Amino acid sequence: MTIRTVETKPIAGQKPGTSGLRKKTAAFMAPGYLENFVQAIFDGTGGAKGKTYVLGGDGRFFGREAAGTILRMMAANGAARAVVGRGALLSTPAASHLIRLRKADGGIILSASHNPGGPEGDFGVKFNTPNGGPAPEPVTEAIFAATGALSRYLISDAPSPDLSAEGIFDLDGMPVEVVDPVADYQALMERLFDFGALRALFASGFTMRFDAMHAVTGPYATAILEGALGAPAGTVMNGAPSEDFGGGHPDPNPVWAKPLVDLVMGPDAPDFAAASDGDGDRNMILGRGLYVTPSDSLAVLAANAAAAPGYAGGLKGIARSMPTSRAADDVAAALGVPAFETPTGWKFFGNLLDAGMATICGEESAGTGSDHVREKDGLWAVLLWLSILAKERKPVSEVMAAHWRRFGRRYYSRHDYEGIDSDAAAEMMAALKARLPSLPGATFGGLTVEAADDFAYADPTDGSVTAGQGVRVSFAGGARAVFRLSGTGTEGATLRVYLERYAPPDGDHGEETQAALAAVIAAAEDIAGIAARTGRSAPDVMT
């Protein structure tokens, strides 16, 4: 054994959220920074002795070096075994599945999700618990407390194994099992979906493009779409993971995946297109000439889940984050299953999934998933969409039109006001909350308020209450506006306003989204006084 005890001191600011600790790559590369946080993970979760861990990440810059350091620390702290993706690669949903499959004691995921990578970009370390999901707040608080009490970290001086080849290697007495990062995940997808039906879809001449955005889903999409399902070579775009994501921003939205959006809106558009993010847990769905909002995608997947064998028995429930449109609620009501409205954060979904109360979950920020793992899963959403298209043999536009004819359409948009004065933003939200009791019954922009509150969530699984999650204002006829403040700092604050209007099944489903929401936009302005309080007459970003 070549264990070394290194004296250290607490480093300020190592407070993880449910998405772990994210900082600039240079911060993690500073002497002792990564080591301190990893030791705090072990110390804050009862120690590593005798435990099995899963390790991998999205392939961003510094990932392999970080993986080697973490393995040496696992060995020094007495871990029984480490299971690592070849090349230190594992998508976040694949890591979640591997933790559950191997009955591991947890996993460390090296990713900053959709944030840019490279030496000037971002890096992140996240701890997932034995259920495969992100560490809940009591665990992250314990890890944070440990960061403030560190006086040493343990590390082996033995060289870390070569992670480029599969096999079992010894690291100072700890077996390190290097595995194919795709194989177990692909086997899970083969159990959930009818790969024969999907092969027949591609054999029929169906065309598709999947933009992996130079990120971790490239190998997964290539193996599954082009390999197992027989999609033509070239179906997967930007499929080789890059340490800086090809110099781009691995966020699957119409801005950062613009070439894909331009393709589906052009004369040579494929039948279907999709993209995923840096660590593979988000998705964007498109059809020929059509962008499908994440809220609508969640509702369509829930309504048509039986197209995949893994969901033929029906759904136990459907969950969405509070800012996500209520399109999923309409589906739940029609199916006769519970609908859950949670705060933003996958840990709330994880509680429902573990309790067997929900099957499919989603967020307006492009995350969708099911009870097959405890993370959102971009490629899973793509395969379920393909299953629906294989069954219906209709274009995406017709699938959406049929959905709206059945459930109605929830016109939906998010307006972001970025970099506004933090004090002005806080004052606006305080004034808005003070007005809440007087809003019901009042009329703004021609819309009458039915209900208004500051959203608080009582978790049905454990009774915990999470308050202050955003202001909801519901109008007669099914319209809604939600106001949330996101972050403060030297660049100010970001105000997010989520706008929604319901058109019934026999209503007009073909309006331009912003035009359809004009009355809700006007009402939101009248209620919150955004222009007067922030000096902004229009949002910086509309999605």
What's the CATH architecture for 185-407? Answer: 3-Layer(aba) Sandwich (3.40)
Express as a percent the part of the chain with pLDDT over 70.
99
> How large is the average pLDDT for residues 168-179?
97
Parts of the chain belonging to CATH 3.40.120.10: 3-181, 185-407
Between 96-105, 352-361, 422-431, the lowest mean confidence (pLDDT) is in 422-431
For the sheet containing 339-342, what is the strand order? 339-342, 318-321, 360-363, 367-370
The set of residues, in sequence order, having a beta carbon less than 8 Å from that of 353 and lying 6+ positions away, is 359, 361, 370, 371, 374
**Residue that the structure tokens 């009402």 belong to:** 523
CB 485 within 8 A of CB 425: yes
The set of residues, in sequence order, having a beta carbon less than 8 Å from that of 181 and lying 6+ positions away, is 56, 85, 86, 87, 89, 90, 91, 94, 219, 220
What pLDDT, on the 0 to 100 scale, is given for residue 492?
A: 73
Pick the CATH number of 3-181 from 3.40.50.300, 3.40.120.10, 3.90.1150.10, 3.40.462.20: 3.40.120.10
The token duo for 35 is 């080591």
Assess whether pLDDT exceeds 80 at residue 490: no
What's the chain's average pLDDT?
A: 95
Q: Which of 251, 253, 186, 192 is nearest to 219 (CA)?
A: 186
Long-range contact set of residues 252-255: C-beta below 8 Å, sequence gap at least 24:
252/114, 252/211, 252/213, 252/276, 252/277, 252/282, 252/283, 252/284, 252/366, 252/378, 253/284, 253/366, 253/543, 254/284, 254/291, 254/543
- 113 as an active site residue: the answer is yes
What pLDDT, on the 0 to 100 scale, is given for residue 345?
A: 85
What pLDDT, on the 0 to 100 scale, is given for residue 137?
A: 87
What pLDDT, on the 0 to 100 scale, is given for residue 407?
A: 98
Express as a percent the part of the chain with pLDDT over 90.
91
Exposed / middle / buried, residue 48 (Cβ in 10 Å: 0-12, 13-18, 19+): buried
More confident residue, 418 or 519: 519
Assess whether pLDDT exceeds 50 at residue 489: no
What pLDDT, on the 0 to 100 scale, is given for residue 488?
A: 35
Parts of the chain belonging to CATH 3.30.310.50: 409-542
pLDDT 10s digits, 352-404: 999 999 999 999 999 999 999 999 999 999 999 999 999 999 999 999 999 99
Rounded distance, CA 301 to CA 367, Å? 12
Which of 19, 91, 113, 297 is labelled catalytic?
Answer: 113
What's the CATH architecture for 409-542? Answer: 2-Layer Sandwich (3.30)
